[in-house]
């Protein structure tokens, strides 16, 4: 985003020092092309949505990359599938030199498949999201580390989180971010008159350009109907048969629809954490709309006041917090997987992170005060799995130690 430093800039620079190729993937209008503009001037930029660039590269991809063997950035690479095999050949001709190519791609499950088939071991992937809360309200230099950064250190304990840097913004600013979501363009032109038609155009472009082009046999009216349903399903454990009956399609078709929504970065599927052999675990996946602003647009929520009275308010808040945590850790280059946890008896953890930092369970509350009885599931999970701490994300005034290994963190301190 012009005028705003993206958290991914440092990660791109690091990966270019280590890998011959870096791939930047994510939904449309999240700033991938703008991130390419941070590359040094000597880089050659090819935009495959520009007809002249597409013709130049598609004429003979192998010859083009022999003539341009380094410092080439290819935007919207999914437009030319043949480029992936050509990149593999070009990279293997000089495997030891890092920082030679950058490719970007939008809204395409086939893109990641092409990368995994042709460029495995030769490429590092950056999944770029809409703007983070941490990007809209960055720390000043020297303020210290955020509560999430501290919690993600393998050696950190719950009490260490209390030493986090001060909040990034006010409670009101956090609510504004929650309502508006993170797509950069509405933040650049911050008026309601612009936001609503932009969202409408974005949804239409997503369905009728990207999805229609990628899946030519798809029933677009049915898929658009599902898109409207996703707002109400966000935060729910998924029952594919119920959705199939509502849409009047088969259950396999509904599963395909959800895979498309997840693979095009609109929906985030979260699997169940099933590694507790002592308890019966709910195994169906859960899901969230990735951008809270898009969720609120599809739900026809006009403002923050209406959001706070909306029946989906709790699920919306939960999904926004989960997205911020996942996005921040991905932007920092952390390796991790994410899950939710629910037992047949009703005990639930909203987010379970498992990565280089160990196992980190996260409970999400909208409230300022947290009743100790509501932390029983988190307390039991920490004890049973030997976690070094559990996090409670809420709207308190400051981080608070609830127990020796459970700490509360206000969202605006993340």
Go through 13-44 and write b for each residue having 16 or more CB atoms within 10 A of its CB, e for each that does not: eebbeebbbbbbbbbbbbbbbebbeebeeebe
Q: Following CA atoms 229, 230, 231, 233 in sequence, which dihedral angle do they give, to the nearest 10 degrees? A: 90
Task: Tell me which residue of 57, 321, 12 sits closest to 182, measured CA to CA.
Answer: 321
Go through 109-121 and write b for each residue having 16 or more CB atoms within 10 A of its CB, e for each that does not: bebbebbeebbee
**How far apart (Å, rounded) are the C-alpha atoms in residues 293 and 240?**
25
Beta bridge partners of 409: 393
**How far apart (Å, rounded) are the C-alpha atoms in residues 184 and 197?**
15
What does the pLDDT read at residue 108?
Answer: 67
Residue ranges, comma separated, of all CATH 3.40.50.300 domains in the chain are: 8-128
166: Cβ contacts below 8 Å, ≥ 6 apart? 143, 413
327: Cβ contacts below 8 Å, ≥ 6 apart? 129, 132
Question: What is the SS3 assignment for 23?
Answer: strand
Beta bridge partners of 407: 391, 401
> Is CATH 3.40.50.720 the classification given to domain 8-128?
no
**How far apart (Å, rounded) are the C-alpha atoms in residues 338 and 359?**
10
What does the pLDDT read at residue 2?
Answer: 45
Give the N- to C-terminal CA distance of the chain in Å, as an integer: 21
**How far apart (Å, rounded) are the C-alpha atoms in residues 16 and 43?**
13
Give the global pTM: 0.94
**How far apart (Å, rounded) are the C-alpha atoms in residues 214 and 207?**
10
Question: What is the SS3 assignment for 255?
Answer: helix
What are the distances in angstroms from CA 75 to CA 45, 46, 102, 385?
7, 6, 8, 44
What are the distances in angstroms from CA 120 to CA 22, 74, 76, 323, 414?
11, 18, 19, 27, 33
What does the pLDDT read at residue 5?
Answer: 83
What does the pLDDT read at residue 275?
Answer: 81
Low-confidence ranges of the chain (pLDDT < 50): 1-2
Task: Tell me which residue of 83, 65, 64, 63 sits closest to 23, measured CA to CA.
Answer: 83
**How far apart (Å, rounded) are the C-alpha atoms in residues 118 and 376?**
47
Q: Residue 272: enclosing H or E segment and its boundaries? A: strand 267-272
**How far apart (Å, rounded) are the C-alpha atoms in residues 241 and 35?**
41
What does the pLDDT read at residue 277?
Answer: 57
């Amino acid at each position: 985003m012009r005028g705003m430093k993206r958290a991914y800039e440092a990660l791109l620079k690091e990966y270019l020092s280590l890998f011959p190729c870096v791939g930047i993937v994510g939904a449309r209008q999240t700033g991938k092309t703008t991130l390419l503009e941070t590359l040094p001037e000597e880089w050659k930029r090819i935009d495959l949505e520009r007809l002249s660039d597409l013709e130049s590269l598609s004429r003979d991809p192998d010859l083009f990359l022999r003539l341009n063997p380094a410092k080439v950035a290819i935007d919207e690479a999914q437009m030319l599938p043949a480029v992936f095999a050509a990149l593999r050949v070009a990279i293997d001709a000089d495997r030891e030199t890092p920082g030679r190519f950058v490719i970007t791609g939008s809204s395409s499950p086939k893109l990641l498949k092409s990368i995994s088939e042709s460029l495995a071991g030769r490429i590092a992937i950056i999944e770029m999201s809409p703007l983070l809360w941490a990007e809209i309200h960055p720390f000043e230099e020297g303020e210290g580390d955020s509560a999430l950064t501290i919690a993600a250190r393998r050696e950190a304990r719950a009490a260490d989180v209390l030493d986090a840097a001060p909040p990034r913004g006010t409670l009101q600013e956090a609510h504004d971010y929650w309502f508006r979501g993170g797509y950069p363009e509405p933040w650049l032109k911050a008026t309601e008159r612009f936001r609503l038609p932009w969202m409408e155009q974005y949804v239409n472009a997503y369905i009728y350009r990207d999805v229609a082009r990628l899946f030519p046999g798809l029933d677009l009216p049915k898929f658009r109907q599902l898109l409207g349903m996703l707002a109400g399903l966000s935060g729910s454990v998924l029952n594919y048969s119920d959705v199939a009956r509502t849409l009047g399609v088969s259950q396999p078709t509904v599963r395909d629809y959800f895979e498309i929504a997840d693979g095009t970065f609109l929906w985030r599927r979260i699997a169940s954490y099933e590694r507790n052999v002592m308890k019966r675990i709910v195994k169906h996946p859960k899901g969230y709309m990735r951008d809270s602003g898009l969720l609120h647009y599809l739900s026809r929520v006009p403002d923050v006041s209406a959001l706070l009275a909306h029946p989906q308010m709790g699920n919306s808040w939960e999904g926004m917090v989960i997205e911020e945590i996942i996005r921040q850790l991905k932007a920092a280059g952390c390796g991790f997987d994410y899950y939710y946890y629910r037992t047949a008896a009703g005990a639930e953890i909203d987010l379970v992170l498992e990565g280089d930092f160990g196992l980190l369970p996260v409970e999400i509350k909208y409230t300022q005060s947290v009743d100790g009885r509501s932390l029983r599931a988190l307390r039991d999970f920490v004890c049973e799995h030997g976690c070094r701490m559990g996090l409670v994300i809420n709207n308190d005034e400051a981080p608070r130690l609830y127990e020796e290994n459970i700490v509360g963190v206000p969202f605006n301190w993340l």
